[in-house]
Amino acid sequence: MNVDTPRDGLQLRSIVKDSGELELSLARVATPAPAADEVVLRVEATPINPSDIGLLFGAADLTTLAGSGSGERTVATARIPDAAMKAMAGRLGQSMPVGNEGAGTVIAAGSGAAAQALLGKTVAVLGGAMYSQFRTVKVELCLPLPAGTSAAEGASCFVNPLTALGMTETMRREGHKALVHTAAASNLGQMLNRICRADGIGLVNIVRKPEQEALLREQGARHVVSSASPRFIDELTEALVATGATLAFDAIGGGKLAGQILGAMEAALNRSAKEYSRYGSTTHKQVYLYGGLDTRPTEFVRNFGMAWGMGGWLLFPFLQKAGAETAARLKQRVAAELTTTFKSHYAGEISLFEALQADTVAAYGARATGAKFLVNPNKGVA
Amino acid sequence: MNVDTPRDGLQLRSIVKDSGELELSLARVATPAPAADEVVLRVEATPINPSDIGLLFGAADLTTLAGSGSGERTVATARIPDAAMKAMAGRLGQSMPVGNEGAGTVIAAGSGAAAQALLGKTVAVLGGAMYSQFRTVKVELCLPLPAGTSAAEGASCFVNPLTALGMTETMRREGHKALVHTAAASNLGQMLNRICRADGIGLVNIVRKPEQEALLREQGARHVVSSASPRFIDELTEALVATGATLAFDAIGGGKLAGQILGAMEAALNRSAKEYSRYGSTTHKQVYLYGGLDTRPTEFVRNFGMAWGMGGWLLFPFLQKAGAETAARLKQRVAAELTTTFKSHYAGEISLFEALQADTVAAYGARATGAKFLVNPNKGVA
pLDDT tens, position by position, for chain A (382 residues)? 456 789 999 999 999 999 999 999 999 999 999 999 999 999 999 999 988 998 999 889 999 999 999 999 999 999 999 988 988 888 999 999 999 999 999 999 999 999 999 999 999 999 899 999 999 999 988 989 988 999 999 999 999 999 999 999 999 999 999 999 999 999 899 999 999 999 999 999 999 999 999 999 999 999 999 999 999 999 999 999 999 999 999 999 999 999 999 999 999 999 877 777 778 899 999 999 999 989 899 999 999 999 999 999 999 899 999 998 999 899 889 988 998 999 988 999 999 999 999 889 888 887 776 678 999 999 998 6
Q: What is the pLDDT of residue A335?
A: 86
Report the residue of A279, A282, A289, A296 to disrupt the B interface, i.e. the one with the largest count of B CBs within 10 Å. Answer: A279
Q: What is the pLDDT of residue B279?
A: 81
Strand residues in chain A grouped as ranges (E): 8-16, 21-30, 38-47, 61-68, 75-79, 96-97, 101-109, 122-126, 134-138, 142-144, 178-182, 202-207, 223-226, 247-250, 253-255, 285-289, 294-300, 308-312, 348-350, 373-375
Average the pLDDT over B271-296 and give the result.
Answer: 88
For B102-117, write each residue's pLDDT tens digit. 999 999 999 999 999 9
Query: Nearest-CA distance from A113 to chain B in Å?
Result: 34
Q: Which range has the top average pLDDT, A40-54, B4-18, B239-253?
A: B239-253
Query: Nearest-CA distance from A299 to chain B in Å?
Result: 4
List Cα–Cα distances, A366 to A31, A57, A211, in angstroms: 32, 11, 18
Chain B's closest residue to A306, CA to CA, is B312
Contact state of B312 with A308 under an 8 Å Cβ cutoff: yes
Q: What is the pLDDT of residue B1?
A: 42
How far is residue B267's CA from residue B241's CA, in Å, rounded to a whole number? 9
Q: Is the pLDDT of residue B276 over 80?
A: no
Contact state of B91 with A300 under an 8 Å Cβ cutoff: no
Instruction: Tell me which residue of A195, A90, A205, A145 sits closest to A338, measured CA to CA.
Output: A145
Q: What is the pLDDT of residue A370?
A: 66
How far is residue B278's CA from residue A14's CA, in Å, rounded to a whole number? 13
The alpha-carbon radius of gyration of chain B (Å, integer) is: 22
Chain A's closest residue to B263, CA to CA, is A87
Q: Which residues of B are less than 8 Å from A314 in CB distance?
A: 279, 306-307
Q: Which residues of A are less than 8 Å from B278 in CB distance?
A: 54-55, 58, 91
Q: Which residues of B are less than 8 Å from A313 in CB distance?
A: 306
Residue B382 confidence class, pLDDT cut points 50, 70, 90: low
Residues of B with CB under 8 A from a CB of A: 54-55, 58, 87, 90-91, 94, 96, 253-254, 259, 270, 273, 276-279, 282, 289-290, 292, 297-303, 305-314, 317
How far is residue B241's CA from residue B239's CA, in Å, rounded to a whole number? 5
Chain B's closest residue to A274, CA to CA, is B90
**Regarding predicted confidence, which is higher, B187 or B41?**
B41
Chain A's closest residue to B256, CA to CA, is A299
For A209-253, write each residue's pLDDT tens digit. 999 999 999 999 999 999 999 999 999 999 999 999 999 999 999
Q: Are A204 and A180 in contact (CB under 8 A)?
A: yes
Contact state of A300 with B298 under an 8 Å Cβ cutoff: yes
Q: What percent helix, strand, coil does chain A show, rounded to 5?
A: 35, 30, 35
Helix axes B257-270, B232-243, angle to 10 degrees: 50
Q: What is the pLDDT of residue A326?
A: 93
Q: Are A308 and A263 in contact (CB under 8 A)?
A: no
Q: Is the pLDDT of residue B191 over 50?
A: yes
Report the length, in residues, of chain A.
Answer: 382
Q: Which residues of A are less than 8 Å from B282 in CB distance?
A: 317
Task: Count chain A–chain B contacts defined by CB atoms under 8 A.
Answer: 91
Element (DSSP H or E) covering residue B13: strand B8-16
Instruction: Tell me which residue of B139, B154, B151 sits closest to B39, measured CA to CA.
Output: B139
Chain A's closest residue to B59, CA to CA, is A278
Structure ipTM: 0.85
**Cβ of A314: how many Cβ atoms within 10 Å?**
19
For B17-48, write each residue's pLDDT tens digit. 999 999 999 999 999 999 999 999 999 999 99
Chain B's closest residue to A55, CA to CA, is B278
Query: Residue A308: which of B54, B290, B311 has the nearest Cβ?
Result: B311
Residue B271 confidence class, pLDDT cut points 50, 70, 90: confident
Q: What is the pLDDT of residue B369?
A: 66
| Cα end-to-end distance, chain A, whole Å | 20
Q: What is the pLDDT of residue A1?
A: 43
Q: What is the pLDDT of residue A196?
A: 98
Q: What is the pLDDT of residue A3?
A: 61
How far is residue B77's CA from residue B80's CA, in Å, rounded to a whole number? 10
For B111-166, write each residue's pLDDT tens digit. 999 999 999 999 999 989 999 999 999 998 899 998 899 999 999 999 999 999 99
Contact state of A306 with B312 under an 8 Å Cβ cutoff: yes
Contact state of B312 with A289 under an 8 Å Cβ cutoff: no
Contact state of B312 with A307 under an 8 Å Cβ cutoff: yes
How far is residue A40's CA from residue A120's CA, in Å, rounded to a whole number? 10
For A337-377, write each residue's pLDDT tens digit. 998 999 988 999 999 999 999 889 888 887 776 678 999 99
